[in-house]
Amino acid sequence: MHYSYTLLAFAITALALPTPNSKADDGSWAPGKYEGDGTPYDDGKWHPGKYPGDKTKRDDGSWYPGKYEGKGTPYDNGKWYPGKYPGGKSKTVKRDDGSWYPGKYEGKGTPYDDGKWYEGKYPTKKPAKRDDGSWSPGKYEGKDTPYDDGKWHPGKYEGDDTPYDDGQYHNNKRDDGSWQPGKYEGDDTPYDDGKWQPGKYEGDDTPYDDGQYHNNKRDDGSWQPGKYEGNGTPYDDGKWTANKYPSGEKKE
């Protein structure tokens, strides 16, 4: 009996010990060792469900409608469908056959004029009555138009903003007709008041001498060559110079 218990304890201990792998890792590589299912790395092989939205059938490289364009892709497949273009008419479920009809390209709802008149088409202050082509005063000329209606009105040709006098008095103080210095002549008028002031007829800006001395050195009255005649004066000093005379002849 004691022998039986000894064998049973030995068997339990042997079963509890770890068993070695059937084959030790010799360092060689095998498919799935480091990549693929059960690892964080891609083994480069395709399998159903690998890519979201992928088809269960492996892509054999052939093309079919909708593979790369159309619904569910960011590309246009060139086909029309209702609502494809913003502003498209909801009832235009039929593809455009290229034929024309009124309002297709012009008129209401388009940026182009269809050539038809309707009330309010042209801005105007006149009542919404269609123009029958007849003429009426002020229709094409006069006030609110760039054309003259041929009628006169105060200020049209004279007065403010024109070079002509309108004959009206425009002053804060009424003119009693009396004269006062400067009313019609003198400063601020184009007329001479008859009064003399230094420089009026002689001196600077006139061709006449004002009798005043204008030099840093005072003139003692003595004469020197060139003082009154010759170069720099309007008078001839009597001396000959080459080219003095237009004949061009030189003095021997």
Q: How do residues 218-241 score in pLDDT, each as one tens digit?
A: 667 788 887 888 877 888 888 888
The tokens describing 22, both together, are 């059937």
Q: What is the pLDDT of residue 20?
A: 55
Q: What is the pLDDT of residue 202?
A: 82
- Whether 228 and 235 have beta carbons less than 8 Å apart is answered as yes
Instruction: Give the Cα-Cα-Cα angle 8, 12, 17 (nearest 5 degrees).
Output: 150
> Long-range contacts made by residues 158-164, C-beta under 8 angstroms, separation at least 24?
none
Higher pLDDT, 49 or 197: 197
Q: What is the pLDDT of residue 41?
A: 83
Residues 74-91 as b/e (b if ≥16 CB within 10 A, e otherwise) read eeeeeeeeeeeeeeeeee
Per-residue confidence at 129, pLDDT binned at 50, 70, 90? low
Per-residue confidence at 92, pLDDT binned at 50, 70, 90? very low
pLDDT at residue 153 greater than cutoff 80:
yes
Q: How many whole angstroms separate alpha carbon 95 and alpha carbon 97?
A: 6
